Chain A
């Protein structure tokens, strides 16, 4: 054919002009393909879906009201990879297969632009989608950072991992398109990636090998609750290099079947391998002893690492990232204090944030309570009330209110954390009336632990010691919560000394508060008391 001859015959221009023209043609094709990729129904649906999940999470997930940004960043990556990355994988693959689908493969042979350059254009067309993904993640974290009392700060490398995963999956789609003409390969590859998300954490047993996954949504096994930024020790930068290296490898792999064998392809391949290997090796190193030492110090001697602030005669000590939550804590604490007679309020009340670092087998360290007492004594804040590193959910509020109530009712007496008799019922009422959310949290905890005859345990977080209350005390406290707050409040103010006396029984408290006493059977139930 004449056209084929024309394409094969070199133009009389110089080589430089030729390269320039090819580059312009590649860029023009990239522009067209990137617009098609962005406007692809699958991409649009994936982005709308992702944004929908994020926005609905704002309303339904209470933890989003007080987000911890160093946890939000990696949480964004998973949805970004599965939805936008999945769209890039399938839409990128379909774009490469378009000539085959439309029966125009032979027409492509006579175009000026060789298949290699068209593949480069397909790969470059992924960049705008990755940029859009980055913009979405930054927008999400930005909204949470500026519109909510968020704690901590996001890790930029962690934020970049999502868009890098989009690039990687898009390059995989282009590679699959060059290897096979079947359109089922890309969707199946996405499902395989999904299966890997379940299997790899099992295979690696939480070790550092889990960083070989594309995104690592799991937190550190040693940190059951959010931790300050300086204790995170996630190899996010190395992981980003690993992802970019893998994306480069896939891109080079997509170019090989098109006959790209030049020095530039070899160099690109070597750089990609080096990048992926270096990232993989660095991220496989477990965190050093310095991190473990810093974590132990933050757990056992929090006073040396915290900032304290006084608000309404109460001192709040928190890790630097979490000081923004102090006003919210204060609302709950003041709601409990308001129900206590003025002469029963302690001269000095401290609320101190606690962090638990689990041992290698998930065990809580021994003698932690003693370490905390010694630390509080050294800092001059004896009997500090604990609060966790999670906030905004109803359980956390109920737990803080209960801890404050426990401190006030026992007047700082050292003793068992199991509260029996009148004091237990009083703590339940004080915690439940501290706010709408605290009340909801108390009822949730009571319902969840209903099968436990021991009653309810109000703990500020997993593995953190909390206040344990027996079943009869719980039922009297909940019954009192069903009555008008002003009425019960007046009775509490009047009979505070009797209610908090160690010998007061549940039946006496029920009589004082004017609620039905627990049945004899309930009172005899074997439990915490």
Chain B
């Protein structure tokens, strides 16, 4: 694997990636943050934080479809490793998703106008860095789940399994008991320790992504294909 191979992969991968879910997820997330702010002035900092968390989940749902690949049956035969292919896909999508998140966060800050501005103008105290960490963890978890799904899935529809799994993870994170809570309102005494947990989860998700993208050895599928040599030669196009 050389940088040149990676470079050659960039354009075809960008064309093969399913951008619609990423775009739709980002758009719905942006709407979920901006529409309430346009309609009401009563959105407090805590509620705006929750809205941004929902928007981050929308973005993660889009990321869940990032590794979808209808040609997945043909890829085991290519010389480029699964890790390289997955990394290229994620690296291509990452700037786009980061931009979407930055726009969402920036607009949320710009339009926040809580009337109780005396002590806590929601926009000023919106914990952008912490929420970005949460969003990054969710996206990393979604991509790691997609990579794990891709290992066991033969038709390339990873998002179909990953998106509900992401929602399930988010549901679990919202209902965690207070001692281990990671979703806490701003100003909560647990806020800092919760974000240490988020950072740890981000590391776990990234490691899981690397592990799940690792090219396995001795897969059962290979054992059942002793006579595929002619077929493989024929399928090379």
Residues of A bordering B, CB below 8 Å = 42, 45-46, 49, 53, 56, 60, 82-83, 86, 90-91, 94, 97, 101-102, 182-185, 187-188, 190-192, 194-195, 198-199, 202-203, 205
Can you list 24 A-B contacts with CB-CB less than 8 angstroms, sorted by A residue number? A49-B171, A49-B172, A56-B177, A60-B177, A90-B163, A90-B167, A101-B160, A182-B21, A183-B159, A183-B160, A184-B21, A184-B64, A184-B65, A184-B159, A188-B24, A188-B28, A188-B58, A190-B167, A198-B36, A198-B47, A199-B35, A199-B40, A199-B43, A203-B40
Size bracket, chain B contacts: 35 or more
B155 at the interface (CB under 8 A from A): yes
Return the contact of A184 from the options B39, B40, B61, B168 (Cβ within 8 A). B61
User: 1/0 contact trace for B141-181 toward A, CB 8 Å?
Assistant: 00000000000000101011001101110011001010000
A56 to B175 alpha-carbon distance, docked (Å): 11
What's the minimum C-beta distance from B152 to chain A, rounded to whole angstroms? 13
| A-chain residues with CB within 8 Å of residue B168 when the two chains form the complex | 42, 45-46, 49
- B43/A42 in contact, CB under 8 A: no
User: Restricting to B156-211, which residues have a CB under 8 Å from any CB of A?
Assistant: 157, 159-160, 163-164, 166-168, 171-172, 175, 177
- B62/A192 in contact, CB under 8 A: no
User: 1/0 contact trace for B48-75 toward A, CB 8 Å?
Assistant: 0011001001100110110000000000
- A182/B24 in contact, CB under 8 A: yes
| A-chain residues with CB within 8 Å of residue B157 when the two chains form the complex | 101, 183
- B164/A83 in contact, CB under 8 A: no
- B164/A90 in contact, CB under 8 A: yes
| A-chain residues with CB within 8 Å of residue B24 when the two chains form the complex | 182, 184-185, 188
What's the minimum C-beta distance from A277 to chain B, rounded to whole angstroms? 23
Main secondary structure of the interface of A (DSSP, over half): helix
Looking at A53, A183, A192, the one whose CB has the most chain B CB atoms below 10 A away is A183
A56 to B168 alpha-carbon distance, docked (Å): 18
User: 1/0 contact trace for B23-41 toward A, CB 8 Å?
Assistant: 0110010001001100110
Q: Which residue of chain A lies nearest to B64 when distances are taken between CB atoms in the complex?
A: A184
Q: Which residue of chain B lies nearest to A98 when distances are taken between CB atoms in the complex?
A: B160
| B-chain residues with CB within 8 Å of residue A195 when the two chains form the complex | 32, 36, 51, 54
A45 to B161 alpha-carbon distance, docked (Å): 13
- A199/B163 in contact, CB under 8 A: no
| B-chain residues with CB within 8 Å of residue A46 when the two chains form the complex | 168
- A198/B21 in contact, CB under 8 A: no
| A-chain residues with CB within 8 Å of residue B171 when the two chains form the complex | 49, 82-83, 86
| A-chain residues with CB within 8 Å of residue B21 when the two chains form the complex | 182, 184
A94 to B166 alpha-carbon distance, docked (Å): 15
Looking at B20, B51, B62, B168, the one whose CB has the most chain A CB atoms below 10 A away is B168
Return the contact of A183 from the options B36, B163, B177 (Cβ within 8 A). B163
A187 to B160 alpha-carbon distance, docked (Å): 10
Return the contact of A199 from the options B25, B28, B39 (Cβ within 8 A). B39
A49 to B166 alpha-carbon distance, docked (Å): 15
- A94/B160 in contact, CB under 8 A: yes
A46 to B40 alpha-carbon distance, docked (Å): 33
- A199/B160 in contact, CB under 8 A: no
On whether A192 and B32 interact (CB within 8 A), knowing A90-B167, A184-B65, A203-B39, the answer reads: yes
On whether A187 and B61 interact (CB within 8 A), knowing A83-B171, A192-B28, A199-B39, the answer reads: yes
